[in-house]
Amino acid sequence: MRPLSALYVAMATGFLVTCDATTNSDQSKTMLSGSPHYGRSLGTGHEYDASGRFLRVHQENEEERVLEAIKNAMNKAEVKSAAKKILKGKSEANAVYKTWAEKYSKLQIGTLLNVGKKKQYEPVYNGYVAYMNALS
For residue 69, is it within any domain? yes
Highest mean pLDDT among 14-23, 57-66, 82-91: 82-91
CA-to-CA distance for 18 and 122, rounded, in angstroms? 57
pLDDT of 56: 59
* 134 has a pLDDT exceeding 60: yes
The predicted model scores a pTM of 0.51
- For 26, 28, 35, 53, the CA distances from 32, given in Å and listed in that order, are 13, 10, 8, 28
* pLDDT tens digits for range 29-44: 555 555 555 555 555 5
Count of domains observed in the chain: 1
User: Crossing angle for the helix pair 59-88 and 93-103, nearest 10 degrees?
Assistant: 160
For residue 119, is it within any domain? yes
For residue 10, is it within any domain? no
- For 5, 13, 27, 29, 60, the CA distances from 17, given in Å and listed in that order, are 18, 6, 18, 21, 57
For residue 73, is it within any domain? yes
For residue 14, is it within any domain? no
For residue 50, is it within any domain? no
For residue 99, is it within any domain? yes
Q: How confident is the model at residue 61 (pLDDT cuts 50, 70, 90)?
A: confident
- For 14, 31, 57, the CA distances from 3, given in Å and listed in that order, are 16, 44, 61
- Note down the domain range covering 67: 60-136
Q: For residues 121 and 88, is the Cβ–Cβ distance under 8 A?
A: no
* 107 has a pLDDT exceeding 50: yes
For residue 51, is it within any domain? no
* 21 has a pLDDT exceeding 50: yes
* 113 has a pLDDT exceeding 70: yes
